[in-house]
Chains A and B, each alone.
Chain A
């Protein structure tokens, strides 16, 4: 209920259009990986999915930020069902990959941002190896490249009042890790898939 309301509001304000280019919105086990320019990226991507798919899709979010106060804690746990991961002081025990793998095993799709942090220039940075790890552990999962357009213009870093610029979310054809593909080559291919959506 609350999730639907928030999705509707965000949708009205960003005027977001979902453009499925190369795959359809189907309830399969997927990892949506996208460029990261704004704190609201995960929200926009998440609400661009049809309601049934959204209910089985969990965004990855920073543990320290989303447990900061009761409101954020409630949003992260009850509304977005975020998979909270540690950003600082990562050890083998609290490795961010552990909760991600658990979520996938439980049958939930994931939304991840493989650049690791926000890229404020609007460019797309190098991908961190986590995506490769997940692709190797879960070969049956479809890896869907996503490009989020214009959201960094709606709310640039350090601003608190958004402007109503129209956003688009592009979904590209799913990737899979090839049998003998090197880590670096795979990460480049994944990044290029997102870049290709920007050019389209």
Chain B
């Protein structure tokens, strides 16, 4: 990586401006809001904006510090997300050693192999070796009750929180012709489109959401929110084409992949929350919920985006 280059500064300047505008709007709304429920929505909005300042700051700092810092940040995010996931899914004392491996050996190892550039092991570690290891370790612990459910939950947590998410910083080790040392901007493209898609869908849904897509799974998702928010995020993605190895049309297509997978990521992770009877995975980010609530769309978009880039552009 060769940062900060001029483009990167422009992008972060743009987001700084967008957040400043959002902060000012939130501040004005707070002063003019009427009614109990209105005030509550505005309070939540302002909490979200504040958390965005923190997230943009941390993400920007990690990118500026280089590949290792970015990998470490995503590794930490995986760890925190897995923690929320396992907290929510009941496990038994016999799962203890498997969980210890999942948290302290397998998740870090995923990022170590990724950073070392051992691509083959990065893509196999969790889907093959962890998949074999976890049931073996749990079987050795000797409790057969709900065995399949318990091992499946741990494997699922590892896949979503560690494996899928690791594809995002995985972009940093791709070799794209005529795009050397600029991969960080591609990671930025992925994160910006996925996260802004969530924000745009939230705004469009709040403004004109009528028709619920899946009322029993995720009651806040509406057709209007998805279309308006999705198209806005795709437009943003297309507008970001100068920082990518794509043409404007390709950038829009890639953004569409991220938007669609991100939407389904949010839907699937909501289904799990609903089944467990909770609204959020955690309380790490005020207004947003937990780490996993914030990155659910990213987890589903990252692997598909990564492989699309790897297939067509390397």
**Interface SS of chain A: helix, strand, loop or mixed?**
loop
Interface string of A12-36 (1 = CB under 8 A from B): 0001010000000000000000000
Q: Which of B84, B87, B91 has the most CB of A within 10 A?
A: B87
Taken together as a complex, chains A and B put the C-alpha atoms of A7 and B282 apart, in Å, by 21
Using known A-B contacts A17-B283, A156-B93, A157-B93, determine if residue A163 contacts B100 with beta carbons closer than 8 Å. Answer: yes
How far is A159 from B100 in the complex, measured between Cα atoms in Å?
11
**Which residues of A have CB within 8 Å of B84?**
166
Known: A163-B96, A163-B100, A166-B282. A15 touches B91 (CB 8 A): no
In the complex, how many residues of chain B place their beta carbon closer than 8 angstroms to a beta carbon of chain A? 14
Contact with B along A150-193 (1 / 0, CB 8 A): 10110011010101111000000000000000000000000000
Cβ of A165 and Cβ of B83 under 8 Å apart?
A: yes
| Bound CA span A15–B282, Å | 10
A-chain residues with CB within 8 Å of residue B282 when the two chains form the complex: 166
Which residue on chain A has the smallest CB distance to residue B83? A164
Contact A166 B103, beta carbon cutoff 8 Å: no
Is B22 located at the chain interface by the 8 A CB criterion? no
Query: A15: which B residues are within 8 A, CB to CB?
Result: 83
Quote the shortest CB–CB distance from A35 to chain B (angstroms): 16
- Of chain A, the residue at the smallest CB distance from B281 is A166
Partner of A166, one of B83, B91, B93, B100: B83
A159 to chain B: which residues have CB within 8 Å? Answer: 93, 96-97
Q: Are B86 and A165 in contact (CB under 8 A)?
A: yes
A163 in contact with B99 (CB, 8 Å): yes
Q: Which residues from B are CB-within-8-Å of A165?
A: 83, 86-87, 99
Majority secondary structure of chain B interface residues (helix, strand, loop or mixed): helix
Q: How far is the CA of A133 from the CA of B292 in the complex (A)?
A: 46
Select which of B86, B87, B96, B103 is within 8 A of A156 by beta carbon: B96
Residues on B with beta carbons closer than 8 Å to the beta carbon of A152? 93
Q: How far, in Å, is A167 (CB) from chain B's closest CB?
A: 9
Smallest CB gap from B91: residue in A: A153
Q: Is the CB of A150 within 8 A of B96?
A: no
- Assembly CA distance A166 to B79 (angstroms): 12
* 1/0 contact string of B58-97 vs chain A (CB within 8 Å): 0000000000000000000001000110110001010011
Question: Within 8 Å CB of A163, what residues of B?
Answer: 86, 96, 99-100, 103
B283 to chain A, nearest CB (A): 6
Q: Could you say which residues of chain A place their CB within 8 Å of the CB of B99?
A: 163, 165
Instruction: Write the nearest CB–CB distance from B231 to chain A, whole angstroms.
Output: 37
Kindly list chain B residues whose C-beta atoms are within 8 Å of the C-beta of A156: 93, 96
**Chain A contacts of B86 at CB under 8 A?**
163, 165
Roughly how many angstroms separate A145 CA and B254 CA in the complex, as a whole number?
A: 54
A165 to B281: give the CA distance in the assembly, Å. 12
Which among A15, A152, A157 has the highest number of chain B CB atoms within 10 Å?
A15
User: Given the known A-B contacts A17-B283, A156-B93, A157-B93, are A150 and B87 also in contact in the complex, defined by CB atoms under 8 Å?
Assistant: yes
Closest chain A CB from B272 CB (angstroms): 16
- A/B interface sample: 5 pairs, CB < 8 A: A159-B93, A163-B86, A163-B99, A164-B79, A166-B84
Please give 9 more A-B residue pairs, beta carbons under 8 A apart, in addition to A163-B99, A166-B87: A15-B83, A150-B87, A153-B93, A159-B96, A161-B100, A164-B103, A165-B86, A165-B99, A166-B83
Ranked nearest first, the 8 interchain pairs of A and B with the lowest CB-CB distance are A156-B93, A166-B87, A163-B99, A165-B87, A164-B83, A156-B96, A159-B96, A163-B100
